[in-house]
Structure 1
Amino acid sequence: MPILPTQQPVEILRHTFGYDAFRVPQEEVIQTLLAARDALVLMPTGGGKSLCYQIPAIAMAGTGVVISPLIALMEDQVNALRQAGVAAAALNSSASPAESRATEEALLQGCLDLLYIAPERLLQERTLNLLQRATVNLFAIDEAHCVSQWGHDFRPEYLQLRVLHERFPLVPRIALTATADSKTRAEITERLTLQEAAVFIRSFDRPNIRYHINSGSQGARNALLRFIRDRHAGDAGIVYCLSRKRVEEVAEWLQGEGLDALPYHAGLGIDERRRNQQRFQQDEGVIIVATIAFGMGIDKPNVRFVAHLNLPKSIEAYYQETGRAGRDGLPAEAWMHYSLRDVVQLRQMIQQSEADLPRKQMEGHKLDAMLALCETTDCRRQTLLGYFGESLSSPCGNCDNCLQPPATWDATVAAQKALSAIHRTGQRFGVQYLVDVLLAREDPRIQQQGHDRLSVYGIGKELSANAWRALFRHLLLRGLVEVDHDGHGGMRLSPSSRPLLRNEEKLTLRQHESPVPRQREQRPEIAPRDTALWEALRQHRRELAQAQGVPPYVIFHDATLMEMLHRRPRDLEALAALPGIGERKLAAYGTSFLKILHRDRPS
């Protein structure tokens, strides 16, 4: 028997969360849970997944239990819910024994609407027994893609969550993720025994995010600095790097350039990681430079850009990481700079790993798809969505390829020269050596090998060294050449290069080293006359947040402040009509924000 709701979902949406209408398919998901049916929900980051389980948990008697993989995510969610007047708590290792006992007692007494818990804690027999003594109205499995052993965020504890179906067969479960191709969806369904679940898939598109990808062997840091200064001065952002060493180097360099940048990776001490993450969450305009250890569950809505200084391993990883930008729905950017070294390094990592052959093949296919997204001359968004099985009828108009269609060139003859250089030198040298041969550079190694007497020596002077490196990258990602995985990175021909060498195929490529497009700044549009008021609203929000020890966006999102700025409500009733202002926040903050909106205006 389903637990009948004590409140109507739409009333909770309005009075608690301050929104007038549900997004598709939130209401249908909620009704599924209220009918005691399981659900699998795929929505893009910022699409409103949390409300799908928070509202039914509040509506029904008892407590909704949310399985969440990271303490930071739990704390964000609990803080936000408490601001809205919802009884929420978390059980995790950061709580003291006394706090944990108080939370457990509140659960048993039916005083909690929502309880957040890590999978490791949930799976303890003591915790399962505790939940069986309480009234649990639903289980929400957040970040459900962590169950996928093929995925970049795999968490082995997620494989054991089928115990919920076994121990609590009558309690509805909802699994949610923003990142899942068809294989990952099948894994979630099978491993969590959700074969009978209703499936809800919303478009993966995030139209507010502009995608820009460029490549080259030099100038990545300076290109990043220009991007930040020209387009995101004073904005919060995340910069992803492949290694811990590069994270620290880039963070230190950005600091030296006057930016508020902090490092984050697993090699830092726990206290430093926590301190840097807290600064990022609570302060305005902080840039985190991080490995992929940072980000899953980060709920900061006003991240205006995500930058990659290295190539991600897969489109799933790229989509997950770029999805941390613009969660508030306002304009944001995903910027990337990658090099041939990234391609070689990632391929070597795959080949030298201890994974079995099917796993290596799968990771190789995922990397190929990521490279195809980088090298396409078509709309980035159409390519990205196509990977997830979704079609976009027309180009998006909000990616670099749409805004500045890339120039292309017939690279057939140049590619034949590059392939010939690989073959003539014995298929055992790296890209830089091959470029030196093509350009007839004086190098003792070339003379020692006798390669200065080859027919390919000096036949490539029509292209620059950078252009040759870009061409070798194209040949590699298109599978026309391969890399020896002996640690030396030597290039060799693949069987698929033969048609090109025989003039049976042509090769048309995009020209690289293009500048960052400068169409318009990707930030909330504020008229010059409103700048001072905008900053006053943000400053007041910051002061309220600091007094309570919570991030500013927990008070109000930028999108809500933007509505205040544009609509200038005159009283509490008008203020209550703005999105994101529920009854609790209206009572706590409404009067003080109205004073700021109208303090310099006659009554």
Structure 2
Amino acid sequence: MTTHNRQLLHNGARAARRHTINKLLRSIFGVERLRDGQQQVIDSVLDGKDTLAIMPTGSGKSLCYQIPARILDGTTIVVSPLISLMKDQLEKLDALGVRAVQVNSSLTREEEDAAMEGIRASFHEIVFCTPERLSTPSFLEALKEIEVALVVIDEAHCISHWGHDFRPAYLEMAAAIDALGRPPVLALTATATDDVVADIARQLGRTRMNVVNTGIYRPNLHYRVVQVTNNDERYARALEYVQASSGVGIVYAATVKAAEEMLAILVGAGESATLYHGKLPAAERKRNQDEFMSGDKRVMVATNAFGMGIDKPDTRFVLHLQLPANLEAYYQESGRAGRDGLDAECTLLYFQDDKRLQQFFLVKHYPSANDLKAVYDAVCAMAQEGKVGFERVNDELDELAAGKLKICLKLLKDGKLLRQNRKLEYIVTPKEASAGLFEELSAIYARKQERDRESLEQMVSYAVSGFCRWKVLLDYFKDEVEGFDKCCRCDNCLNPPAVAEIEIRDDEFERAPEPGPAAPHFEPGTQVRVARFDVGTVVAMAGDQVTIDFPEHGEKTFLADYVEPA
């Protein structure tokens, strides 16, 4: 067959496939046409390519695996980090008549037995599971009995060391997928820098992934930052904001304590609000989520435990009480507003002490070279006695947290000191284990901590920036939007910081300036005074210029010499 004839055959097959897709869209999913990027991702998946889809929150990533699941022969496995996310997706698919099931710790023994029976019979088109469950040998053995057409990794940034929500449980997935015979992979995320994209491919062992990036820009989201000077002002401004906002909204707090205090303030003021954080009992979390999703409660006050994959399209505002750790997290969380395409407000309350709070969170205890050696020595000792699975290693080294142990085992695999067979048992390789190699492997996470600190600095820079908020986000993610100059809807576009006009006398050009004392420095959030404008709050300082927010005059910029402490 000539190249020309093969191309004609390919084009004909793709045209027939498009017809099938359009029919499914209308008859099953009630959708008239695919959005930007969805067709590219679906075509890539149906062509059998490993695919990484980077699509904005609310852009319909779920359809990118739901359509192929109805077309491909075999079962689609969807790995999702949160049980609440699975529940949300499963209910929607059940309503559409799609045969889907979940396997996770929320099921009773009877429910799990029924789910596994359906999986073994190849009854279900889509199976949802957590990364922990995918790596369970008994679950893997059941999946090996059926044809797995596709493995979908939702919130794929969680697999990357450089991702904003790295989770050790994701590290075991690559070995599990390989044990299933390396079916095609579809990785989905709303945000990924170049480093994260490269690391996702490396962690999955899929170096030739087809990357479809539709960009992050969503013009219906209007960003703004409000500077506050203490916690009392923070809560007062938050209450005012919620009371002045119409529609449904989410208030994010960085700590459980702040979330509970904010809820008490809102409820005390007569607002319809509920609470979600990881320390609540599972039944209470579920009930509160249901009340918010159904509209029984107007406002959800939550930590970042709430929201990943939650789809409530009519969310009109997202308010952050405190500074997130990085711009990826902020974009993901604020992006839960306005999924219906209508205008929505995304507001950050910024207090300079928030940076110290996030710095505290960043002090994570990553594995040291000594930890790696201890794990390696333990595996070597156990290997002489028989099979070595994760549970056995975990039992032997119970002084190490499970998450840290998973990181150690993955690093030892990356260093070629260990490998896993199709039963996910660890096998010691002949490679020599030197102290220098352990040091080299542990240094990866030292670099991660440094990157985390840099990401926090960039989040602070966004909070104090006088530039278009969307421009800052687009530059950070290296996303180019054709013809974009500024959004014209954020706080800085609507009320640009004014640069003070400085009068320069002619005689000043006739002599060289004499060196004087260094300009004073003012931290963001500081109360200062400027003649004619009275007292204001420092928003940002760049060089010798200070941007100040005045209650009656908005933001203006002055030389630091004209500013004095209030």
CA 1:414–1:91: 2 relative to 1, 3 Å: farther
1:313 Cα offset (Å): 1.1
Matched, 1:474 2:474: no
**Is 1:294 equivalent to 2:332 in the alignment?**
no
Task: Name the amino acid aligned to 1:94.
Answer: S
Root mean square deviation, CA, Å: 3.1
Tell me how far apart the structure 2 counterparts of residues 25 and 341 of structure 1 sit (CA, whole Å).
Answer: 40
| CA distance, structure 1, for counterparts of residue 554 and residue 301 of structure 2 | 20
Give the corresponding residue for 1:374. 463
Q: How far off is 1:28 after superposition?
A: 2.3
CA contact (8 A) 2:465 2:540 kept: no
Q: Supply the AA of the counterpart residue of 1:229.
A: Q
Select the structure that is richer in strand.
Answer: 2
| TM score, norm. by length of structure 1 | 0.68
Residue type of the alignment partner of 2:117: E
Equivalent residue letter for 1:400: D
Distance 1:25 1:151, change over 3 A: closer
Code of the aligned partner of 2:547 = L
Report 1:92-491 matches (<5 A). 92-169=104-181, 171-218=183-230, 219-232=233-246, 235-347=247-359, 349-350=361-362, 354=365, 357-392=446-481, 393-409=484-500, 416-418=519-521, 467=536, 470-471=537-538, 474=540
Q: Take 1:258 and 1:59, find their aligned partners in 2: how far apart are those partners?
A: 50
- Structure 1 residue 514: Cα displacement: 7.8
Amino acid in structure 2 at the alignment position of 1:161 = M
State the partner residue of 2:54. 42
In the other structure, the counterpart of 2:5 is: none
Provide the C-alpha distance between the structure 2 equivalents of 1:119 and 1:316, rounded to a whole number of angstroms.
22
CA distance in 1, matches of 2:28, 2:553: 46
CA contact (8 A) 1:5 1:61 kept: no
Instruction: Write out per-residue CA displacement over residues 323-361 of structure 1, whole angstroms, 9 at most, x where no aligned residue.
Output: 1112222221111111111134334554x5546653332
- SS of 1:340's equivalent in the other structure is coil
- Rounded Cα–Cα distance in structure 1 between residues aligned with 2:281 and 2:168: 24
Contact 1:382 1:391 in 2 (8 A): no
Indicate conservation of the 8 Å contact 1:382/1:395, yes or no: yes
- Flag structure 1 segments of 5+ consecutive residues without an equivalent: 420-429, 440-459, 479-504, 518-603
Q: Distance in 2 between matches of 1:164 and 1:513?
A: 58
| Distance change >3 Å, CA 97–CA 333, structure 1 → 2 | same
Displacement of 1:466 in angstroms is: 6.7
Distance in 2, matches of 1:139 and 1:345, equals 38
C-alpha distance in structure 1 between counterparts of 2:550 and 2:212, whole Å: 40
State the Cα deviation string for residues 171-199 of structure 1 (Å, max 9, x = none).
21100000211111111110012212211
Does the 8 Å CA contact 1:78/1:89 hold for their aligned counterparts? yes
Asked if 1 retains the 8 angstrom alpha-carbon contact of 2:540 and 2:548, the reply is no
Aligned residue for 2:270, secondary structure, equals coil
Q: Per-residue CA shift, 1:208-227, capped at 9, x if unaligned?
A: 11111111204222222222
In the comparison of the two structures, how many residue pairs are matched? Answer: 446
**5+ unaligned residues in a row in structure 2: which ranges?**
1-12, 367-444, 503-515, 556-566
Distance 1:101 1:512, change over 3 A: farther
Partner amino acid for 1:417?
A: P
Give the match for residue 59 of structure 1. 71
Q: Which amino acid aligns with 2:31?
A: Y
Rate the CA distance shift 1:324–1:228 in 2: closer, same or farther, 3 A. Answer: same
* TM superposition score normalised by structure 2: 0.72
- Change in Cα spacing, 1:255 to 1:9, as seen in structure 2 (3 Å) is same
- Amino acid in structure 1 at the alignment position of 2:312: K
Structure 1 distance, partners of 2:333, 2:83, is 18
CA contact (8 A) 1:409 1:511 kept: no
- Is the CA contact 2:314–2:340 (under 8 Å) kept in the aligned structure 1? yes
Asked if the contact 1:211/1:399 (under 8 Å) is kept, the reply is: yes
What is the aligned partner in structure 2 of residue 72 from structure 1?
84
Identity %: 36
